[in-house]
Amino acid sequence: MPDGFKGHVADSVLVIDDDPCLLHSFVDVLETYGLPVATARDGYEALAAFRWFSPAVVLTDILMPEQCDAALAMRRARPAVKIIAMSGRADKADFLTIAKKFGADAIVHKPFEVSDLVKLLRTFLQQRRR
């Protein structure tokens, strides 16, 4: 079972980031807002967590080993899953453009307001319920 697995829940979020501090911060914040969360630290863990957890939304840092391939595999496996790509690099425009090419539904530039991210997640979850 992947790290951060807490069981399948309908309105769940898979957070993928290779920075342990950010990853845990995401979990703390999203759980505070009542969103069930699973985590992964790279593309390999992400695919395992994706299979086990079956999230409604994937929130992923784009600059990690195997992450573009993992995102493409997630999109192929479940075309309806919502994928939010994020990057904190100064040259983020290039990387986030790549994220759109592999099927990201939204892109987020780090740093960002938590309330904006939660609003985006809730919008995607509400769309899923329709």
53 burial (CB, 10 Å; 0-12 / 13-18 / 19+) is buried
The single residue listed with the structure tokens 């309908």 is 10
Give the start-to-end residue ranges of the domains of the chain: 13-129
- What homologous superfamily is domain 13-129 in, according to CATH? Response regulator (3.40.50.2300)
pLDDT tens digits, residue range 40-61?
A: 998 889 999 999 989 999 999 8
- Please give the Cα distance from 125 to 12 (Å, whole number): 9
Q: What is the pLDDT of residues 1-11, one digit of tens each?
A: 334 434 445 67
**pLDDT (tens digit per residue) in 104-128:** 899 888 888 988 999 999 899 888 7
- Prediction pTM value: 0.85
Non-local CB neighbours of 118 within 8 Å, separated by 6+ positions = 29, 30, 33, 35
Q: Which residues pair with 82 in a beta bridge?
A: 57
For 88, the 3-state DSSP assignment is coil
